[in-house]
Amino acid sequence: MEYGSHYAPRGKRPETKHIVVHCAATPNNSTRHTPLGIVRFHYTPESQGGPRHGPWKSCGYHKIRARDGSVLVTLHPAAIGAHVGDVGHNHDSYGICLMGGIDDRGRPDPNYTPEQWAGLEQDIREALTLWPDAEVLGHRDMIERYGGRPKACPCFDVPSWWAGLNSGPADDGDDTIDNPRPELLSQLVVPTSFTVSPTGTDRLLIDFGEPVSLADPDG
């Protein structure tokens, strides 16, 4: 089982209207910022430098793409995340985060690697197999539409990029995505506890409870 792939501490989304792309706002040449570092940050108390109202129940994003293209699955795909709470749409949005997004001076920069661009495309196509009517947007697009404090995240025009990928001639090749498994949506596992390892190590341990049916109102 992938880390977090059945993890849903906030319960199940009632619907999925948006697939939202984010950036981690980390420099492109940083070697100390990692996907697990983002997870660790979300579990850190606000008083110790963590996010607002931290520690959170889980990482806010569903997936995080590292600079080398590897992906960390942090939540069950149907779980309620914590990535567009500023516009009130955690309940109907799926969130993907890319490491990077700013230059060495902290300015917005879509400095993602070819591996990240390719991985992001696959992540979105996988998500659309589960929620074919969902709209692909960036965090900044959600803010523009629903209101909120302006942000550059993810530092590129997601709708235009996605439209460009899908505007070419039809491809008669095999477009099958390896990973999407709708049956994943049949279960959630609610963690009984978690332990965050000391800063500087890339380990995060979770003790999972018994599977909970998505049909269970208490799940």
What residues does each domain of the chain span?
18-166+177-213
* Chain segment 98-143, per-residue pLDDT in tens: 999 999 888 999 999 999 999 999 999 999 999 999 999 999 999 9
Catalytic residue among 22, 42, 63, 83: 22
How far apart are alpha carbons 97 and 53 in whole angstroms?
20
> Cα separations (Å) of 73 from 5, 28, 62, 166?
6, 21, 6, 25
Greater pLDDT, 195 or 148: 148
The pLDDT value recorded for residue 40 is 84
Catalytic residue among 12, 42, 151, 155: 151
pTM summary value: 0.78
The pLDDT value recorded for residue 31 is 62
The pLDDT value recorded for residue 51 is 87
Q: Is residue 205 pLDDT above 60, yes or no? A: no
Q: How confident is the model at residue 161 (pLDDT cuts 50, 70, 90)?
A: very high
Q: Answer yes or no: 139 catalytic.
A: yes
What is the token pair recorded at 128?
């659309």
Q: Answer yes or no: 61 catalytic.
A: yes
The pLDDT value recorded for residue 184 is 39
Give the distance from CA 43 to its chain's centroid: 15
* Chain segment 22-67, per-residue pLDDT in tens: 999 998 766 668 888 888 888 888 888 888 888 888 889 999 999 9
How far apart are alpha carbons 41 and 27 in whole angstroms?
17
How far apart are alpha carbons 188 and 80 in whole angstroms?
11
Average pLDDT over residues 68-78: 86
The pLDDT value recorded for residue 83 is 95
The pLDDT value recorded for residue 190 is 40
User: Among residues 8, 20, 174, which one has the least CA distance to residue 83?
Assistant: 20
**What fold characterizes domain 18-166+177-213?**
Lysozyme-like (3.40.80)
Q: Answer yes or no: 153 catalytic.
A: yes
Catalytic residue among 61, 76, 89, 112: 61
